[in-house]
Amino acid sequence: MKRLWLLFAQTATVLLAVYFVVATLKPQWLDRRAQVAGIVPVFEAATGSASGGKASGFRAAAQAAAPAVVSINTSKARARNPQGNDPWFRFFFGDQDESQQAQTGLGSGVIVSPAGYILTNNHVVEEADDIEVILNDGRHTQAKVIGTDPESDLAVLKIELTDLPVITLGNSDELHVGDAVLAIGNPFGVGQTVTSGIVSALGRTQLGINTFENFIQTDAAINPGNSGGALVDSNGHLMGINTAIYSRSGGSMGIGFAIPTATARSVLDAIVRDGQVIRGWIGVEPQNLSPELAQSFGIKSDEGVIITGVLQNGPAAQAGLRPGDVITAVNGTKVNAVPELLGAVAALKPGQAAPFEVVRRDARQQVQITPAQRVPTRRPGR
């Protein structure tokens, strides 16, 4: 019995050694035998082979959206010193190096129309003298600024090329936290790059980036140069325009922000139609209603936005609005925060009266206010 066990152990050892030798030197022998036996490798069955299997991961989304994402190079000529031609100035300070006169910038954009319209960020092209657009297929051309909207940090460019790839605009209102997204752009000028992540949060406001804020937050890596690029869903549909990141190092830290397509679409339509975005304005200073403010003004309401200041002779003042009034609805839309009030007022048509639901002390009333046209304001340096 002991001899039989010894013989079995030696045979198993030899067979195992032969298997490892064949697997190392001639692995195709094992593959051939597996195919004859009807066995398919697990990885190939799950994902498809590289030669002809079904696309896995986000490949299809990237292939659908990436051709419509472009790189944008900008340059701005520095103002020349008016004393640059003065012989005494040149004697003391020397000749100025003309090669250092131009400032350059880098960003991304998204082709949204066969006619050549491109969505990007306002801060990418702001004050640029020359804008060059480079397509993913290698073509490059000069772009013309059709219009900008500093308050949403969006801009519309136009290029004169044919056979342009166009991205499909998605419905950003259908996004949910946890949905998979891709960020596509040209970070640091290394070339088009695709990164993946999820929607981390929705409706981010009061970040101090734009006047009108309603950001999609994502952990997909967004870096300098990605500004104006595309945030797309798993189908390759545009869900947002990448705009800003929270970073202490200048690189991605997993907190990026994109302007929703719903906002970008309305700005695009307004700029293409009118050359600018026309918004309503009523001339008030609003604040979120806190218990302290409610007590200070003697208000029992716990909803709405309190008005702490009213511009003299402004639309709100002419309609009888006073400090201490609480606006709870604008043209039928409920408002409970300052960004909601700003957005609702901005959506009004200037010169056309709209109903405002107002709480004054304990009494509720409706006030008709005719908004004026809002004058765009610049945000501080980004």
Q: Is 227 a catalytic residue?
A: yes
pLDDT at 199: 93
| SS3 assignment, position 203 | strand
* Boundary-marking domain end, from 274, 302, 325: 274
Residue 317: phi and psi, rounded to 5, are -65, -40
| SS3 assignment, position 307 | strand
Q: How many domains in the chain?
A: 2
* Boundary-marking domain end, from 274, 304, 338: 274
317, 353: one domain: yes
The answer as to whether 117 is a domain residue is no
The answer as to whether 209 is a domain residue is yes
What's the CA gap between 29 and 147, in Å, rounded? 65
Q: What is the CATH number of the domain that holds 300?
A: 2.30.42.10
- pLDDT per position as a tens digit, 7-42: 666 776 777 666 666 666 666 565 554 444 443 343
The Cα-based distances of 23 to 39, 44, 227 in angstroms read: 17, 19, 50
Exactly one of 108, 123, 233, 325 is catalytic; name it. 123
Exactly one of 149, 153, 219, 325 is catalytic; name it. 153
pTM, to two decimals: 0.73
Q: What is the CATH number of the domain that holds 266?
A: 2.40.10.10
- pLDDT per position as a tens digit, 45-99: 333 444 344 445 789 999 999 999 999 999 887 655 555 566 655 555 555 555 4
Of residues 86 and 311, more confidence is placed in 311
Of residues 282 and 44, more confidence is placed in 282
206, 285: one domain: no
Exactly one of 227, 233, 252, 325 is catalytic; name it. 227
Identify residue 332 by its one-letter amino acid code.
Answer: G
pLDDT at 281 over 50: yes
What's the CA gap between 241 and 277, in Å, rounded? 17
The answer as to whether 94 is a domain residue is no
The answer as to whether 195 is a domain residue is yes
| SS3 assignment, position 57 | coil
196, 234: one domain: yes
359 in Cβ contact with 304 (< 8 Å): yes
322, 229: one domain: no
335, 259: one domain: no
214 in Cβ contact with 204 (< 8 Å): yes
Helix 2-25 vs helix 27-36: crossing angle, to nearest 10: 100
* Domain that includes residue 249, residue range: 172-274
pLDDT at 218: 93
* Boundary-marking domain end, from 246, 274, 302: 274
Q: Is 176 a catalytic residue?
A: no
